[in-house]
Structure 1
Amino acid sequence: MEHRQLGRSGLRVSRLALGTMTWGLDTDAEQAADQLVTFHDAGGTLVDTADVYQDGHSEEILGDLLTTVLTRDDVVLATKAVARRHDGPFGGGASRAALLSALDGSLRRLRTDHIDLWQLHAWDPAVPLDETLAALDTAITSGRVRYAGVSNYAGWQLATAATHQQAHPTRTPLTSHQAEYSLVERGIEREALPAATHHGIGTLAWAPLGRGVLTGKYRNTTPAGSRGADPHLASYVDHHRTPRANRIVQAAATAAEGLGTTPLTVALAWVRDRPGITAAIIGTRTTTQLKAALNAEELTLPPAIQAALDDVSEPEQGYPERGPARR
């Protein structure tokens, strides 16, 4: 698997990452072990989790597997904090106390002394930004974290945070921004992706398959056993079951037919190779699904097909992204 620099940092990661949101929910520990080994054997290194996934159980499973089926140094370990974990005073949010408490909990569950990439899961308007970012600096200088990033930030939030960190040499520069990005969700192209590129921040794309919609399996029905049929995840999938998405899925299916592959592979290859994208995060429930996604490593989209997919999925833009109208 090809590896890339994460932003302007020295950290190299696989251009496909393994997501663990379903671990401990629809993916048990045995299935997770099989996925992790399959991913590693394919050359993958970046594994992404979060303290809030299944109340920390996803981290616990991953921590166990990094002492049994793989070693800690086999992966680039990424996790997140900020989301509400419990009702206590330090159970969530981006205050210094809550963040450092969350970090200690993640280290304990992951059974490690450091996180390779620690990410702020969301913007917290209730906490001064300089306090939040100072907690990242403390995490780095204490040796508990190697690189820091953010997730789900709007363009102005990302640019503000990046500028703050770049303003003084003792502060930790932001390395990554994790955001939803796919053929059916290109909103970050308006401001967040340009902001990340300008500041030398690598973008990690979550839900690159449009929450499963771009596999094509939801075009005419909701298959039993799919996320769309799961009471925990149905609304997550339904977010992208729209007439516009149907047109994009059909275009991906047409491209796949011409290339002798699948809509899944086409959609994943499109995201992986977009400007500014360092890695696409694959979140699969089964090893069979993971292997199908890993087939994207064999595909580079021809320019004509890439242009056609760009066109059919182009997000609506106007002022100020495209500049002022002529006067």
Structure 2
Amino acid sequence: MELRQLGRTGLRVSSLGLGTMTWGRDTDEGDAGEQLRDFVDAGGNLVDTAASYGGGASEEIIGRLLGSTISRDDVLLCTKAGIRATAHGASIDASRGSLLDSLDASLARLGVDHVDVFCVQSPDPRTPLTETLDALRRAVDSGRARYVALANHPGWQVGRASALLEAHGLELAAAQVEYSLLERGVEREVVPAATDLGVGVLAWSPLGRGVLTGKYRRTIPADSRAASTHLAGFVQPYLDSDCTSIVEAVATAAEGLERPTLEVALAWLLGRPGVSSALIGPRTPAQLRSCLPAAELDLPPALAGALDDISALQLGYPERR
């Protein structure tokens, strides 16, 4: 699997990253271990998790697998903070104290003394961005994180964070955002800002929350996310007629190439400017294995261009005049 530079840092990440949102909830430790072994054997190195995944269960499973299944040296760990569980549900909190406390708890669950990338999971309208960035600086200065990133932040915050961190001799390594043929909104401002500033793009949900696998073309499978009580609402926005048209176009392209639909969708994304890694989130080892060949697929330019056209954003002022 290709290793790509993460932005303008010296860190090299695999073109496919292993997302672990389902670990500890929909994916048990046995299947997680098999996924991790297969991923590393295929040349993957980037493992993405968060303090909020499974209430910390994802990190705990990774911690138990490090050493028993693979070596810590074989992977780059990215974890996220900024979403806390409260008695009233999830709460966004990117304050200095919350982020650093969360990082310490993540390190304990992971059983490591540092993570490779520490990421703020969501913008916090109640906390000044300068305070959030100070927490990231302290994480690096203390040795608890090697690099820092922002997730789901708008382009202007990516730009401001990059400038403020650079003033302290730090790089904003990455912007982690949802990006796929079904969600190209980041191309308006986030991706242009990231590529201009040398910030790597880590694309989550690169298969359009599973819809770009083609599994929903005829019906909703009983064992799918769209049929589950806790993820049905996550998938539903991508089951409309506009998204269906895009999925059918990808399926037609895949038939012509004699490759699975999901491989074509992933290969398209890996060919987009600025993308350092596509973070796949397989629930089972079989789902992971079905994704891995996409890392070696180069789409013919004409086909990639056709997919660009059918999924293109409707840009207006000020992006286009």
Q: Please, what TM-score do these two structures have when normalized by structure 1? A: 0.95
Give the equivalent residue in structure 1 for 2:148: 148
C-alpha distance in structure 1 between counterparts of 2:256 and 2:95, whole Å? 52
Say whether the 8 Å CA contact 1:179–1:203 is kept in structure 2. yes
State how far apart, in whole Å, the 2-side matches of 1:16 and 1:74 are. Answer: 15
Alignment of 1:194-273 (within 5 A): 194-273=192-271
Show CA shifts across 1:244-293 (max 9, x none). 11110010000000001111000011111111101101101011110000
**What's the C-alpha RMSD, in Å, of the aligned pairs?**
1.2
Structural mapping, 1:106-145, within 5 Å: 106-145=106-145
- What's the counterpart of residue 80 of structure 1? 80
1:194: Cα distance to partner? Answer: 0.5
Shift of 1:12: 0.4
| Residues 196-219 of structure 1 deviation map (CA, whole Å, 9 limit, x = unaligned) | 111110000000000011111101
Partner of 2:6: 6
Q: Distance in 2 between matches of 1:156 and 1:243?
A: 32
Q: CA deviation at 1:163?
A: 1.8
Of 173, 179, 182, 1:181 maps to 179
Which residue of structure 2 lines up, in the alignment, with residue 27 of structure 1?
Answer: 27
Instruction: Give the conservation status (yes or no) of the 8 Å contact 2:49–2:80.
Output: yes
Contact kept? 2:179, 2:186, Cα under 8 Å:
yes
Aligned to 1:231, the other structure's residue is in SS state coil
Structure 2: distance between partners of 1:130 and 1:206:
25
Question: In structure 1, what is the Cα distance between the partners aligned to 2:48 and 2:308?
Answer: 28
Cα shift at 1:96: 0.9
* 1:86–1:92 CA contact under 8 A, matched in 2: no
Aligned residues of 1:137 and 1:171 also touching (Cα < 8 A): no
**SS in structure 2 opposite 1:177?**
strand
CA–CA distance in structure 2, aligned partners of residues 297 and 122 of structure 1: 28
Distance in 1 (CA, whole Å) between partners of 2:131 and 2:228 is 39
Spell out structure 1 runs of 4+ moving beyond 3 A.
none
Q: 1 CA distance for matches of 2:243 and 2:53?
A: 27
Question: Number of residues paired by the alignment?
Answer: 319
Instruction: Say whether the 8 Å CA contact 1:78–1:116 is kept in structure 2.
Output: yes
**2:318 counterpart SS class:** coil
For residue 290 of structure 2, the aligned residue among 286, 289, 292 is: 292
Sequence identity (%): 55
- Give the drift of 1:240: 0.7
Q: Deviations over 1:55-105 (max 9, x none)?
A: 1000000111012101111100000000123359xx861111111100100
What TM-score, normalized by structure 2, do the two folds share? 0.97
Q: Which runs of 5+ in 2 are unaligned?
A: none
The 5-angstrom pairing of residues 271-282 of structure 1 reads 271-282=269-280
